[in-house]
Amino acid sequence: MAAHPDTELIPYVHGELPAPERERVAQHLRECLDCRRDADELRELLDDLGRAVPRPPDVHWGGYRAELREKLAAHRTRRAWWARPVPLTLSASLAGLLLVVAFLAVQSARQSGTGADFASVEEAAIGDRLGLLEQYQVVERLDLLEEFDLISDLDRLAAERAG
């Protein structure tokens, strides 16, 4: 005897099984009294359920459709969350928060040495603008510039060196 049908029994009772499967179940039911009884009980249970489907309370369909139209209209006018206006207090708070975060970021950058990087970039930019980097000899002895006398005679020294 073939294996007892279990999940095939409901589709069998509803006549939904493909031919080979249906034939196998039918053959089994001819030989197995328990399964035949099972199938009969199942058929009766499903018939009972089908006959006694609970009916929901009545609805006035005109009112139902009018309500649906209202809901649909509300949906159409509703903006997506990103397109909705932000309340004034919330936007002011967000702006304040952004300012504080920006201030803290700048402070932290200065303290962590990133500020030194900024200074060197700035020096290079100024140097480039003054043409100092083109006269490397001068840049090499920048410490001399700290002596005021040398600074006042800088043009003369440069002319002498060229001559």
Q: Token match 């603008």: residue?
A: 129
What's the closest the beta carbon of residue 36 comes to other proteins, in angstroms? 16
Q: Is 89 in the site for other proteins (CB under 8 A)?
A: no
Residues between 45 and 74 with contacts to other proteins, criterion CB under 8 A: 45-46, 48-57, 59, 61, 64-65, 67-68, 71-72
Q: Encoding tokens for residue 44?
A: 């009766």
- Compose the 8-47 pattern: x for residues touching other proteins by CB under 8 A, - for all others: xxxx--x-x------------------------xx--xx-
- CA 29 distance to own-chain centroid: 56
Q: Is 15 strand, coil or helix?
A: coil
Residue 134 is given by DSSP the state: G
What's the closest the beta carbon of residue 7 comes to other proteins, in angstroms? 4
Residue type, 56: P
- Compose the 103-132 pattern: x for residues touching other proteins by CB under 8 A, - for all others: ------------------------------
Residues 43/13, Cβ–Cβ less than 8 Å: yes
Three state DSSP letters for 43-86: HHHHHHHHHCCCCCCCCCHHHHHHHHHHHHHHHHHCCCHHHCCC
Q: Is 160 in the site for other proteins (CB under 8 A)?
A: no
What's the closest the beta carbon of residue 107 comes to other proteins, in angstroms? 47
Site residues for other proteins per CB under 8 A: 6-11, 14, 16, 41-42, 45-46, 48-57, 59, 61, 64-65, 67-68, 71-72, 75
